[in-house]
């Protein structure tokens, strides 16, 4: 159902370096770009994440209650992505672990304060 989500940044160069490394742990790479946004994905027809400047040209801010969740193929990928994010300066919002029998997840905030979840469902 989800096609893409965009996250605003106030330092595009820093944000792209962060997401190159963090999303690279999930096999994602820079997919395509326009003058405002760089999109990341794992392949054609798959959901994407866009990182870039807000359309209204105002300062980027994180949304209260907004939290993209990235689906990982296994718990090891959840751990790897979380650890890479923390290594790169992300703020911890919840270390990897089982939250319920069918959900293993971890939470962090990117350099702009956007809250991200990476999880293994099922």
Residue pair 20/30 in contact (Cβ under 8 Å)? The answer is: yes
Q: What is the CATH number of domain 4-54+62-121?
A: 3.10.180.10
* Residue 1 scores a pLDDT above 80: no
Which tens digits make up the pLDDT trace of 15-68?
999 999 999 999 999 999 999 999 999 999 999 999 999 999 999 999 888 999
Domain boundaries, the chain: 4-54+62-121
pLDDT number for residue 63? 87
Which tens digits make up the pLDDT trace of 94-122?
999 999 999 999 999 999 999 999 999 99
Contacts of 78 (CB under 8 A, 6+ apart): 72, 96, 104, 105, 106, 118, 119, 120
């Amino acid at each position: 159902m989800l096609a893409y989500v965009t996250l605003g940044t106030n330092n595009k160069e820093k944000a792209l370096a962060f997401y190159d490394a963090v999303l690279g742990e999930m096999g994602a790479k820079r997919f395509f770009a326009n003058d405002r946004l760089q999109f990341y994905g794992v392949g054609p027809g798959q959901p994407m994440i866009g990182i870039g400047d807000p359309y209204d040209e105002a300062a980027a801010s994180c949304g209260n209650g907004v939290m993209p969740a990235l689906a990982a193929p296994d718990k090891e990928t959840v751990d790897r992505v979380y650890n890479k994010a923390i290594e790169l300066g992300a703020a911890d919002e919840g270390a990897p672990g089982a939250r319920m029998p069918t959900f293993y997840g971890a939470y962090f905030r990117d350099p702009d304060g956007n809250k991200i979840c990476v999880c293994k469902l099922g």
